[in-house]
Amino acid sequence: MAIADTDRLPPATSDKAKTKTKPQKPRSNIRLYDHIVLAIGVFIMMGPLVVAFLTSTHDYVTIHREGMQITWGGNFLETYKNVLYQKGGFTGEVTGLLMTQNSLILGIGFAVGKIVVSMLAAYAIVYFRFPFATLSFWIIFTTLLLPLEVRILPSYEVVQQLGMLNSYSGLIIPLIASATGTFFFRQFFKSIPNEMIEAARIDGAGPVQFFWDILVPLSKTMIAAIFIIMFVVGWNQYLWPTLMTTEEGYFTLVRGIRNIMQQMIGADIPEYNEALAMAVLAMLPPALVIMIFQRMFIKGLVEQEK
Amino acid sequence: MTTLRIKDVFKRYPNGAEAVKGVSVDVEDGELVVFVGPSGCGKSTMLRMVAGLESVTEGEIELAGRVVNDLEPAERNIAMVFQNYALYPHMSVRKNLAYGLKNRGTPQAEIDRKVDEAAKLLQIGEFLDRKPSQLSGGQRQRVAMGRAIVRDPAIFLFDEPLSNLDAKLRNQMRLEIKKLQRSLGTAAIYVTHDQVEAMTLADRIVVLNNGLIEQVGKPHEVYSQPASTFVASFIGAPPMNLLDATLSDGRIEIGGQSFAVQQTQKAGPIKLGLRPERLQVASGGEGFRVEVGVLEDLGATRLIHARLGDQDLTIAQDSELPEPSSEALITFRHDDAHFFDASSGRRI
Amino acid sequence: MEKAQFQSRWMPYLLLAPQMVIIAIFFIWPAAEAIRASFFLEDPFFGNSTFVGLQNYTDALSASDYKRTAWFTVVFTVLVSLLSLALGMMLAVSADRVLRGQSTYKTLLMWVYAIAPPVAGLIGVMLFDQHIGPLVDFAAMFGWHLQIGVDYWDTGFAMIVVSTWKQVPYCFIFFLSGLQSIPTSVKEASAIDCQSETRRFWTITFPLLAPTTFFLLILNITYAMFETFGTIDQIVKDQPGNSPVTLVYKVFRDGFRGNDIGGSSAQSVILMIFVLLLTIVQFRLIERRIHYT
């Protein structure tokens, strides 16, 4: 990557694709086949979401009687207002709005925490020579080996012993333990031409100045990309919040889904519409973030592979 | 006076590789010294040791009267122009120029003055508020030099600064660098693998090979009195012909033909060096008969690729060309013959 | 060439400190605790524990329940991994070839990536619902009476469908960017050398995508084994009954619901070993790629 030559965003992959495919001679039967495949793909990928959304705009009696809907029902405002503002749950304290707020805290807190912690660690590993560099690298590496899911029970006990159950810090910090971000930044720092630090050293920049004046500004795009990915990952956390938060005031939307499901089991006529409205609320913010910052998101995601 | 004194410098890497094996050179005040050699010859390592970007394993580097071996790059009073310019892509040209001064704690008024001065000198005034990505290659090159100039260094270090430019721009910038260095009167080391750059820019050339100095001298000396077959084949284009020959009884013998020379060396096998441009196709007289192969017309000169016995020979000629596949008679002046030791390659 | 570096006695440690502290407290400690607990039999009521050696492991591995769960996990993982790979590649190849509407297709096909597994699970539960689910009606048209939550393999089928659905966009994104990073000159050269588009795909494009495919395969396996927890939890609805579950779900259920801490820990450790093996394979792959590029 020629970082020295540009600080602009990398060219969009879609633009590239257009110019690349142009020289090929279009053959109509192939294009038609491709469009059919893609149309079926879009139908399968988007269909359930559309059905879920449309169904959520009907009242639950209709849904119960007639099944899921593919038309616009009249209950949109009422249902979504209920879900957002009505106090629910066992304690009667939690609203959809509060859960959205908690989800945002988790998503943003996780993303910011991870970026700060992993940028500092990657900076140390790439730009410093010190005795325990290799050892540190390997310790960080081992965290990639064991996803939270396989050490969930002892992790819970540790957090419990530290008195961090039902707290935002208990929700966020243990999730930062995995080192994906560190590897991401390590990889990126390594791709920055060596001359950059050499020029900075000749210009009299010390480690702190180099980090702030050169490295952070150079990483802007990468930081944004990883923020988007990590925000989605944080927002979508399920197992950890499920264990960690027993007080409903700390519920996130995704965590709340679990309770809705349990309530539905007991009901005569389950409130399908509200459950689906919750699902729509829970998926909308991450989906929008990804759509709006699509280019950056894809770049960040694919870059992780390298 | 001497600006830079390099004394018996060695560079060994932890893995045991030796990049520089004892190099000593002085750079006088205002002098432009070019380090030239093939890639891996140690020329860049030398430069980086002077800059302080690599540690010196053994030996001493003395800059402006003090030993700088253990000083940080920023403390050495040097300025460097990198191959890929290494401009900070997120900073405007002005900030790029000012960054080093700011880190030294130079007052803002003085920074502004120096930046404006340098910008005027390099004619980059109108780009001061642009980012490097908005500049052409030549303009970036100027900014990189500007960054070096504002530091007011004791010595400029150039690390193949022109290799990223196209041929036309390269010639132009080469001239500008030379003019600039002359007018500033600051000593400079210039590293390149391009012998044309070396010949045109240098006050003195240092030819490096395998971490050792092959020859130090003025461009003309290096060209006309190459110290070894390596220098002979590296400096000058097309390269010098080096032929296996045998010297005996005032005659030199190649592939069954012989030619009278003023023998001052002792008899035996030698390497005979003949510059293509010093050979002539003659109509008669004493010379070598060669078999003419491919002809190349370069416009100003024409190259004749010929065979002498089982050895290849190139002749540069600006007059009539012989017919391909014909035989031609080649002559040269005695002064233009270079003799090298057959085994060591040193000049004899 | 090695990166030019700073030297400082304390700064690197300061920079590393936050990461290291978090790893020590929330990673190493729990992981060590899991390994320790796997050798003990803990009494949940009195809090005392007895060293039992490998008994937790032998108990876990010999339980018929465990074998059944392991078998389902294998089937589930293989199907989800391969299906999402195949579908993702198919869509990416088509998306790479169309000129018109490419970015629209891309956006629509990516959408599901943003959805949390449990949310996907909830939507799946609705679509497969006995009363309201259109997919049950659809299957009935072919004489298949899907009974999610009742029939073991029907439930498993729903889990596989939903989990695959959720993973296709991920594969799609990687394959598309892999396809688009193939140099134009290579595409043009192959167009000159080979007339059949299908043959060109299998002899040029597919081999060039191999590294991406392998990388995705590993990722898909990790996804299917661990990240599908939320999906499965939704479909199982906390009432396992006759529903299939994956090994990770069983670790969670035995540990938190069954209070069998030793057994759950032993199962955790078995999974850790599996992930370790997977990582070694992955490392081999990375090494090889360094050689070739």
Judge whether B162 lies within some domain.
yes
Q: Which chains touch C (3 or more CB pairs under 8 A)?
A: A
**Gap from A198 CA to chain C (nearest CA, Å):** 7
- The average pLDDT across B62-85 equals 91
Last-in-domain residue among B227, B261, B277: B227
- Give the separation between CA A257 and CA A275, rounded to whole angstroms: 7
Predicted pLDDT of residue C286: 63
As a whole number of angstroms, the distance between CA B3 and CA B154 comes to: 7
Q: What is the pLDDT of residue C240?
A: 61
| High-pLDDT (> 70) share of chain C, % | 92
Q: What's the alpha-carbon Rg for chain B, to the nearest Å?
A: 24
Number of domains observed in the structure of chain B? 2
Mean pLDDT of the C80-100 span: 92
Contacts with A19 from chain C: Cβ below 8 Å: 184
- B137 near A CB under 8 A: no
CATH number for the domain including B10? Answer: 3.40.50.300
- Whether residues A201 and B99 touch (CB distance < 8 A) is answered with no
How many Å lie between the alpha carbon of A109 and the closest alpha carbon of chain B?
27
Kind plus residue range of the DSSP H or E element containing C84: helix C64-97
The pLDDT tens digits of the residues spanning A85-101 come to 876 655 566 788 888 99
pLDDT at A3: 35
- Is the model's pLDDT at C121 over the cut of 60? yes
> What secondary structure does DSSP assign to A61-112, as a single string?
HHHHHH-S-SS--S-HHHHHHHHHHS-BTTTS-B-HHHHHHHHHHHHHHHHH
| Cis amide prior to B238 (ω within 30 degrees) | yes
CA-based nearest residue in chain C for residue A232 = C114
Domain identity same for B132 and B218: yes
pLDDT of residue A24: 47
Q: Give the DSSP letter of residue B53.
A: S
Whole-angstrom distance, CA of residue C182 vs CA of residue B8: 50
Instruction: Report the half-sphere exposure of A188 (CA within 13 A, side-chain side).
Output: 28
Domains of chain C: 65-244 (1.10.3720.10)
How confident is residue A299, by pLDDT bands cut at 50, 70 and 90? confident
Check CB contact under 8 Å for C7 and A129.
Answer: yes
Total tally of structural domains belonging to chain A:
1
Contact A195 B73 (CB under 8 A): no
Cβ of residue A199 closer than 8 Å to a chain C Cβ: no
Tell whether A227 is covered by a domain.
Answer: yes
Q: What is the pLDDT of residue A89?
A: 59
For residue C117, the chain A residue with the least C-alpha distance is A236
What are B113's two structure tokens?
């003055």
| B85/B192 same-domain check | yes
Domain boundary among B201, B227, B253: B227
Mark whether B220 and B245 lie in a shared domain.
no
User: By the CB < 8 Å criterion, does C105 face chain A?
Assistant: yes
| Residue B271 forms part of a structural domain | yes
Rounded to 5 degrees, what angle do the CA atoms C181, C224, A287 make?
A: 60
Instruction: Judge: B52–A201 Cβ closer than 8 Å, yes or no.
Output: yes
User: So what's the pLDDT on residue A22?
Assistant: 44
Same domain, B304 and B178: no
Which of A196, A201, A209 minimises the CB distance to B72?
Answer: A201
Chain C residues 186-205 with CB within 8 Å of chain A? 187-188, 191, 197
Higher pLDDT, C170 or B318: C170
Taking the Cβ of residue A254 and every Cβ of chain C, the question of whether any pair is shorter than 8 Å is answered with: yes
Distance from CA of C137 to the nearest CA of A (A): 10
Is the model's pLDDT at C148 over the cut of 90? Answer: no
- Percent of all residues in chain A with a pLDDT value above 70, rounded to a whole number: 85
Q: In this structure, are B217 and B247 located in the same domain?
A: no
Q: How far apart are CA B26 and CA B8, in angstroms?
A: 11
pLDDT on residue A305: 58
Residue of C nearest to A272 (CA): C126
Q: Which residues of A touch B (CB under 8 A)?
A: 3-8, 193, 195-196, 198-205, 209, 213-214, 217-218, 220
* Residue A144 neighbours by CB distance under 10 Å: 15
Q: Give the whole-angstrom CA distance, residue A182 versus residue C6.
A: 19
Q: Do B274 and B147 share a structural domain?
A: no
Query: How close is the nearest chain B Cα to the Cα of A11, in Å?
Result: 14
A207 touches chain C (CB under 8 A): yes
Residue of A nearest to C259 (CA): A153
| pLDDT value, residue A103 | 92
**Are B79 and A193 within 8 A, CB to CB?**
no
**Residue C120 confidence class, pLDDT cut points 50, 70, 90:** very high
Q: Which chain A residues are Cβ-neighbours of C167 within 8 angstroms?
A: none
The verdict on B95 touching A (C-beta cutoff 8 Å) is: no
- Higher-confidence residue of B323 and A108: namely A108
Per-residue model confidence (pLDDT) at position C202: 87
Please choose, from the candidates C195, C112, C42, the residue with its C-alpha nearest in 3D space to the C-alpha of residue A290. C112
Q: Closest approach of chain A CAs to the CA of B51, in angstroms?
A: 8
pLDDT grade for C40, boundaries at 50, 70 and 90: confident
Instruction: Answer yes or no: is A13 within a domain.
Output: no
Q: How many CB atoms lie within 10 A of CB A89?
A: 18
Q: Does C22 touch chain A (CB under 8 A)?
A: yes
Which amino acid, one-letter code, is at B33? V
Q: Read off the pTM.
A: 0.84
Mean pLDDT of A237-260: 85
3-state secondary structure of B191: strand
Same domain, yes or no, for B257 and B214? Answer: no
pLDDT mean over A119-132: 89
The minimum CA-CA distance between A102 and chain B, rounded to whole Å, is 36
Paired sense of beta strands B66-67 and B78-81, if any: unpaired
**In angstroms, what CA-CA distances link B163 with B97, B170, B209, C74?**
22, 8, 20, 57
* Coil/strand/helix, residue A6: coil
A-chain residues near B82 (CB < 8 A): 195, 198-199
Say whether A7 and B133 touch across the interface (CB within 8 A). Answer: yes
Query: What is the mean predicted confidence (pLDDT) over C160-172?
Result: 94
Average pLDDT for residues C74-88, to the nearest whole number? 95
Closest-approach residue (CA) in chain B for A208: B103
Q: Which of residues 245-264 of C touch A (CB under 8 A)?
A: 248, 251-252, 255-256, 261, 264
User: Which of A35, A206, A283 is the closest to C98 by Cβ?
Assistant: A35
Q: Specify the higher pLDDT residue, A13 or C10.
A: C10
Does the pLDDT of residue B105 top 60, yes or no? yes
Query: Any idea what the Cα angle at residue C64 is, between residues C60 and C68, rounded to 5°?
Result: 100
CATH of the domain at B298: 2.40.50.140
Q: What is the pLDDT of residue C287?
A: 59
Q: What is the pLDDT of residues B115-130, one digit of tens each?
A: 999 999 999 999 999 9
B106 in contact with chain A, both atoms CB, cutoff 8 A: no
Q: Is there a single domain that holds both residue B173 and residue B261?
A: no
CA distance B178 to A167: 67
**Residue B233 placed within a domain:** no
- CA dihedral for C246, C252, C255, C259, sign (positive or negative): negative
**A268 pLDDT exceeds 80?**
no
Is residue A178 within 8 A of residue A121, CB to CB? The reply is no
In the 3-class helix/strand/coil scheme, how is C189-254 assigned residue by residue?
HHHHHCCCHHHHHHHHHHHHHHHHHHHHHHHHHHHHHHHCHHHHHHHHCCCCCCCCCCHHHHHHHH
CA-based nearest residue in chain A for residue B156: A202
What is the per-residue pLDDT for C199? Answer: 86
Phi, psi of B313 (to 5 degrees): -145, 135
Phi, psi angle pair for A273, to nearest 5°: -60, -45
B132–A4 CB contact, under 8 Å? yes
Cα–Cα dist A233/B302, whole Å: 69
* Highest mean pLDDT (candidates A296-300, B192-196, B280-284, C49-53): B192-196
* Contact between C29 and A158 using a beta-carbon 8 Å cutoff: yes
In chain A, which residue's Cα lies nearest the Cα of C192?
A24
> How confident is the model at residue A271, as a pLDDT?
80
Nearest residue on chain A to C182, judged by CA atoms? A20
In the prediction, which pLDDT does A15 show? 40
For residues C131 and A306, the model is more confident at C131
- The sign of the dihedral angle between the CA atoms of C99, C101, C103, C107 is negative
**What is the rounded CA–CA span in Å between residue B98 and residue B84?**
19
Q: Do residue A201 and residue B104 have CB atoms under 8 angstroms apart?
A: no
Q: Do B92 and B145 share a structural domain?
A: yes
Q: For the segment B245-254, what is each residue's pLDDT rounded down to a tens digit?
A: 988 878 888 8
Q: Does a structural domain hold residue A166?
A: yes
Pairwise CB contact (< 8 Å): A49 & C111: yes
Q: How far apart are CA B153 and CA B139, in angstroms?
A: 22
Query: What are the pLDDT digits (tens) for B128-166?
Result: 999 999 999 889 999 999 999 998 999 999 999 998 888
> Which amino acid is located at C253 in the chain?
R
CB contact under 8 A, A195 and B86: yes
Instruction: Please give the average per-residue pLDDT across C11-32, as a whole number.
Output: 90
Instruction: Please give the order of strands across the beta sheet that includes B66-67.
Output: B18-28, B2-12, B58-63, B66-67
Element (H, E) at A184: helix A180-191
Residue A13 has pLDDT above 60, yes or no: no
Q: Which of A46-55, B194-203, C90-99, C236-245 has the lowest mean pLDDT?
A: C236-245
Task: Determine the pLDDT at residue A16.
Answer: 39
User: What's the one-letter identity of residue B108?
Assistant: Q
Nearest CA-CA distance, residue A212 and chain B, Å: 12
Biggest alpha carbon–alpha carbon distance for chain C:
77
pLDDT confidence of residue C1: 39
Do B259 and B179 lie in one domain? The reply is no
From C77, C69, C117, select the one nearest C222 (Cα to Cα).
Answer: C77
| Cβ–Cβ below 8 Å for C19 and A38 | no
What integer pLDDT is reported at residue B116 of this predicted model?
Answer: 93
Could you list the residue range(s) of the whole structural domain that residue A152 is in?
94-303
**Within-domain flag for B235:** no
Beta bridge partners of B205: B34, B217
The answer to whether the CB atoms of C168 and A33 lie below 8 A apart is no
Q: Domain end: B163, B196, B227, which one?
A: B227
| Distance from C-alpha of B271 to C-alpha of B345, rounded to nearest angstrom | 8
List the CATH number of the domain containing A196.
Answer: 1.10.3720.10
Q: Are residues B142 and B277 in the same domain?
A: no
Q: Chain C contact for A283, CB < 8 A?
A: yes
B contact test, residue of A197, A202, A209, A223 with most B CBs within 10 A: A202
Give residues 218 to 247 of A whose Cβ lies within 8 Å of C.
232, 235-239, 242-243
Provide the mean pLDDT of chain C: 84
Q: What's the domain range around B182?
A: 2-227
pLDDT-derived band of residue B5, with 50, 70 and 90 as boundaries?
very high
Chain B CB contacts of A209 under 8 Å are 103
Question: How do strand C40-42 and strand C49-51 relate by DSSP bridges?
Answer: antiparallel
Residue C238 confidence (pLDDT) above 90: no
Looking at per-residue pLDDT, the higher value among C236 and A24 belongs to C236
Are the beta carbons of B90 and A7 separated by less than 8 Å? yes
pLDDT, tens digit (0-9, with 9 covering 90-100), for C208-233: 888 888 888 888 998 998 889 889 98
> Which among C65, C80, C77 has a CA at the least distance from the CA of C278?
C77
Tell me the pLDDT tens digit for each residue of A166-197. Answer: 889 888 998 888 888 888 888 889 888 888 99
B61 and B144 both lie in a single domain: yes
Chain B residue with Cα closest to A193: B86
- Specify the range with the lowest mean pLDDT, choosing from A27-41, A95-109, B25-39: A27-41
**DSSP per-residue string spanning C22-74:** HHIIIIIHHHHHHHHHTTEEE-TTT--EEE-TTHHHHHHHH-HHHHHHHHHHH
Which string of b and e fits C248-281 if b means at least 16 CB within 10 Å?
bbbbbbbbbeeebbbbbbbbbbbbbeebeeebee
Q: What is the mean pLDDT of residues B324-334?
A: 84
Q: Say if B14 is an interface residue toward chain A (CB within 8 Å).
A: no
